[in-house]
Copies of this chain bind each other. A is one copy, B any other.
Amino acid sequence: MDVKQLISDMVDQAREASRKLARAGSEQKNAALRYVADALENRTSEIRKENQKDVALARGKGAKDAFVDRLTLTDRIIGEMAAGLREVSALPDPVGEVTRMWTRPNGLQVGRMRIPLGVIGFVYESRPNVTVDAAGLCLKSGNAVVMKGGSEAHNSNMMLAKVLQEGVRAAELPETAVQVIPTTDRRAVIELLKRDDAVDLLIPRGGEELIRYMVDHSRIPVLRHEKGVCHVYVDASAELDMALEVSYNSKVQRPGVCNAMETLLVHGDMAESFLPPMFEWFREAGVLLKGCPITHRMFPEVEEATEEDWYTEYEDLILSVRVVPGMEEAMDHIAKYGSRHTETIVTENYERAMRFVRQVDSSLVLVNASTRFNDGYQLGLGAEIGISTVKLHAFGPMGLEELTTTKFIAFGNGQIRT
Contacts and interface: CB of A to CB of B under 8 A. Distances in A.
B408 A245 contact: no
A183 interface: no
A395 interface: yes
A381 to B, nearest CB: 9
Interface stretch (A64-72, A292-300, A313-321, A355-363): A355-363
A390 B108 CA distance: 25
5 closest A-B pairs (Cβ-Cβ)?
A369-B412, A249-B416, A369-B415, A364-B408, A393-B393
Contact of A118 (B357, B391, B413): B391
Interface stretch (A34-42, A49-57, A215-223, A268-276): A215-223
30 contacts: A19-B361, A102-B380, A104-B380, A113-B358, A221-B393, A239-B414, A242-B413, A248-B416, A249-B416, A253-B416, A353-B411, A357-B411, A361-B407, A362-B407, A365-B410, A366-B410, A366-B411, A366-B412, A367-B412, A369-B410, A369-B411, A370-B416, A372-B416, A374-B408, A379-B408, A391-B405, A392-B393, A394-B405, A396-B407, A396-B408
Contact of A215 (B115, B219, B335): B219
A contact patch SS: mixed
A361 B200 CA distance: 13
A404 B403 CA distance: 18
B216 A219 contact: yes
A361 B95 CA distance: 12
B108 A410 contact: no
Interface residues of A, number: 69
A144 to B, nearest CB: 13
A397 interface: yes
A392 B395 CA distance: 13
A246 B335 contact: no
Contacts of A372: 416-417
B242 A414 contact: yes
A390 B405 CA distance: 10
Contacts of A19: 335, 361
Contacts of A411: 353, 357, 366-369
A80 B412 CA distance: 29
A350 B289 CA distance: 67
Nearest to A223: B392
B373 A108 contact: yes
A11 interface: no
Interface of A: 19, 22-23, 96, 102, 104, 108, 110, 113, 115, 117-118, 200-201, 215-216, 219, 221, 239, 242, 245-246, 248-249, 253-254, 335, 353, 357-359, 361-370, 372-374, 378-380, 390-397, 405-418
Contact of A358 (B96, B335, B362): B96
B373 A409 contact: no
A410 B396 CA distance: 13
Contacts of A393: 221, 392-393, 405
A409 B248 CA distance: 21
A397 B367 CA distance: 35
A98 to B, nearest CB: 10
Nearest to A369: B412
Counting chain B CB atoms within 10 Å of each CB, which of A246, A367, A391 scores highest?
A391
A212 to B, nearest CB: 9
B397 A365 contact: no
Contacts of A335: 19
Given A373-B108, A417-B370, A364 B409 contact: yes
Contacts of A113: 357-358
Nearest to A355: B23
Contacts of A362: 407
A273 to B, nearest CB: 17
Given A368-B411, A415-B373, A392 B215 contact: no
